[in-house]
Chain A
Amino acid sequence: MPAVLIEDVHKSYGSLEVLKGVSLAVEPGQVVALIGRSGSGKSTLLRCINGLEAFQSGRIEVAGHAVDQDQKRLRELRKDVGIVFQSYNLFPHLTVGQNIMLSPRITKNVPQAEALALAKDVLAQVGLSDKFDSYPDNLSGGQQQRVAIARSLAMKPKVMLFDEVTSALDPELTGEVLLVMEKLARDGMTMLLVTHEMNFARTVANTTVFMHQGKIWESGSSAQLFAEPQTPELRNFVGAGRH
């Protein structure tokens, strides 16, 4: 069974149809990159998967949970599905350690000692063991984003969603975040990521999906898709990225 199954999803904001029948399957352990122009519906698709946005028709199943707007079921789903945003969204009044421990403590009743060990473990995974007691505003953007990833990992998700997690970073800081994601991919995490890092998509993602005007315009193995784009829109998009 796929880890993420999306079937003919339609989503509109008022009269603006943003997703026009999107279907996609992500197998466990697969890494799928979503690429496409700004406004093509990539973020909306990710936000539909963890229920932050409701959709009008179609079906989404993720990590064995059907997505609907029942709050209790959504919370169960979100325990298994992590999301990391472009703007990190760390909680500014909490230390790094508190940011990471908060949700395991209050949503899963993980005991304090266990949560502490968990937090140290995920911080080590993102290479920030020494930042446990720092506050977010004392960290660089790259470090904040790695903490945000660690915070998601502390929920022990089965699927991770990433929405342009390096787009807000200075170029010299994107590398450290991509490295963390690459390691996650190698460790077998199922990942669906929106990215502008074409190199990353080509080398790390098994499959790349090109979205255009609310539809999946073209998709295939990353190597193939970048080597031989079939549609003029993708050729154009990939070409524009090279210059």
Chain B
Amino acid sequence: MRYQFQFEAVFAEADRILNGVLLTIGLSFGAIVLGLALAVLLVAAKSLFGRWVGMLVDAYVELMRNTPFLVQLFMMFFGLPLIGIRMSGTEAALLAMTLNLGAYATEIIRAGVDSIHRSQIEAGLSLAMTKRQVFQYVVLMPALARVWPALSSQFVLMLLASSICSFISVPELSGTAAIIEQNTFRSFETYIVVTLIYLALALSLKVSLLWLGRRIFPRLSSLDRLDAKAEAA
């Protein structure tokens, strides 16, 4: 028995697919921007404030990194309404993705901050900067530059994990696929198309982030050389 591929029915749903793609891009972009901002703030808080703040940040990071994304999503969507916080599925998805990515990004950026040589911090302090100014002007950019590749991978993983949001009926790409599959009974064709779109999205994101990294951190490759020199001195 040979399977007869029939893509026409799937292509007929192109408009729907396009909307799904746009929502996937929108959710991912939103989560990346918000998650990154959240992570920077949390790492700053951890570096600048006392032990208790640090422990709170750690607790959040561990909570998010050691529970399934699907469960986090359900907590936002089904749990929060019970305490009076009502959100649409898309809003819940964005919140869950932001909090999840924020935790992973916090861990990555913290490693970047830790990798900045103590002498850089002392140089900033010696120039009469406050600790906050040292973090903001001296430590942050080189730290982000150092971990940009790791952050980029995490962003791509988040893009792919956004497919889980279809579980709460968010009509992003995977959610849309489920609908098309029901309408057309063409599961294989639907998911072949969806697979190719995810692949294209993920690769595009990866390339964009690489390009962005080169634009924002033009000295990226020089950092390690400078560190080696500081170490040798």
Contacts and interface: CB of A to CB of B under 8 A. Distances in A.
Bin chain A's interface residue count: 20 to 34
Contacts of B215: none
B1 interface: no
A75 B223 CA distance: 28
Contact of A106 (B126, B137, B145): B137
Contacts, number: 79
Contact of B126 (A50, A136, A168): A50
Given A86-B233, A89-B119, A91-B138, A79 B223 contact: no
A155 B127 contact: yes
Contacts of A168: 229, 232-233
B225 A107 contact: no
B141 interface: yes
Contacts of A102: 127, 137
A91 B120 contact: yes
B133 A78 contact: no
A89 B219 contact: no
B114 interface: no
A107 B128 CA distance: 7
A182 to B, nearest CB: 22
Interface residues of B, number: 28
B219 A52 contact: no
A40 interface: no
A157 to B, nearest CB: 10
A92 B226 contact: yes
A87 B130 CA distance: 22
Nearest to B226: A92
A168 to B, nearest CB: 4
A242 interface: no
A137 B219 contact: yes
Given A92-B222, A92-B223, A85 B123 contact: yes
Nearest to B140: A93
Interface string B164-180: 00000000000000000
Contact of B128 (A79, A86, A90, A167): A79
B122 A89 contact: yes
B130 to A, nearest CB: 7
A92 B142 contact: yes
A151 B133 CA distance: 16
Interface string B122-155: 1111111111010001100110010000000000
Contact of B230 (A75, A79, A89): A89
B133 A93 contact: no
Contacts of A92: 142, 219, 222-223, 226
Nearest to B133: A106
Interface string A83-106: 101110111110000000011001
29 contacts: A50-B126, A52-B122, A52-B125, A52-B126, A71-B130, A78-B126, A82-B126, A85-B122, A85-B123, A86-B233, A87-B119, A89-B230, A90-B123, A91-B123, A92-B226, A93-B142, A93-B217, A93-B223, A103-B128, A107-B129, A135-B219, A135-B222, A136-B226, A137-B222, A137-B225, A151-B127, A152-B127, A155-B127, A155-B128
Interface of B: 119-120, 122-131, 133, 137-138, 141-142, 145, 217, 219, 222-223, 225-226, 229-230, 232-233
Give 6 nearest A-B pairs by CB, closest first.
A87-B233, A89-B123, A103-B127, A137-B222, A168-B233, A78-B128
Interface of A: 50, 52, 71, 75-76, 78-79, 82-83, 85-87, 89-93, 102-103, 106-108, 135-137, 141, 151-152, 155, 167-168
Given A107-B128, A137-B222, 4 more contacts: A78-B128, A92-B226, A108-B128, A141-B229
